[in-house]
């Protein structure tokens, strides 16, 4: 994948940049659910459970959890894996951009990275979940040819989207 010169994807260095990863996830919860209490309920008061989960992704494949860097600063994060119910399908756990990076077309880099990652792992269909409250993400996904599958039966207000990778 060719990136603009001042952007690069690097595996998350949990010991060095774990606090940034937690901060990004907390912000993602705030955007998606209106608060971050669900994050802390699930992962503990300082996010230690989340960092443990990230280490599991890292062991699976260091390139499944990456930070997007721009001129020496972390501006984004991606977390990728397989869909629990069907491991022949990829799953995007997180696309995240810092507030200053949003609305500038940088999100397309996240989607291109994920597409390339899943393709290299032989996966041709990918899913993600998004809350109905996150209107900007819904608009973004639709622009990138993600299609709405329906509401998650286990989580009211959460939509499932899918994309085919050729």
Higher pLDDT among residues 158 and 60, named by residue: 158
Task: Please tell me what DSSP assigns to residue 12.
Answer: -
Q: Helix, strand or coil for residue 9?
A: strand
Q: Which is more confident, 141 or 60?
A: 141
2 pLDDT above the threshold of 70: no
Name the strand (E) or helix (H) holding 156: none
CATH code for 7-123?
Answer: 3.40.630.30
Q: Regarding beta strands 86-97 and 73-83, do their DSSP bridges make them parallel or antiparallel, or are they unpaired? A: antiparallel
What residues does each domain of the chain span?
7-123
pTM for this one?
Answer: 0.92
Whether 42 has a pLDDT exceeding 90, the answer reads yes
Hey, how many other C-beta atoms are within 10 angstroms of the C-beta on 77? 26
Long-range Cβ contact pairs of 32-41 (< 8 A, separation 24 or more):
32/130, 32/131, 32/133, 32/134, 32/137, 33/131, 33/133, 34/133
pLDDT tens-place string over residues 118-141: 999 999 999 999 999 999 999 999
């Amino acid at each position: 994948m060719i990136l603009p010169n001042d952007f690069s994807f690097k595996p998350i260095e949990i010991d060095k940049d774990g606090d940034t990863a937690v901060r990004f996830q907390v912000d993602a919860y705030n955007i998606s659910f209106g608060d971050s209490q669900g994050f802390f309920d699930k992962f503990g008061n300082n996010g230690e459970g989340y960092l443990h989960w990230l280490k599991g992704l890292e062991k699976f494949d260091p390139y499944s959890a990456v930070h997007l860097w721009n001129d020496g600063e972390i501006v984004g994060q991606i977390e990728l894996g397989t869909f629990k119910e069907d491991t022949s399908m990829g799953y995007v756990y997180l696309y995240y951009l810092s507030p200053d990076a949003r609305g500038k077309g940088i999100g397309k880099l996240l989607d291109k990275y994920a597409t390339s990652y899943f393709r290299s792992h032989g996966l041709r269909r990918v899913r993600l979940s998004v809350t109905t409250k996150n209107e900007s993400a819904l608009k973004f996904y639709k622009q990138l040819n993600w299609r709405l599958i329906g509401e998650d039966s286990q989580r009211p207000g959460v939509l499932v989207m899918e994309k085919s990778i050729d």
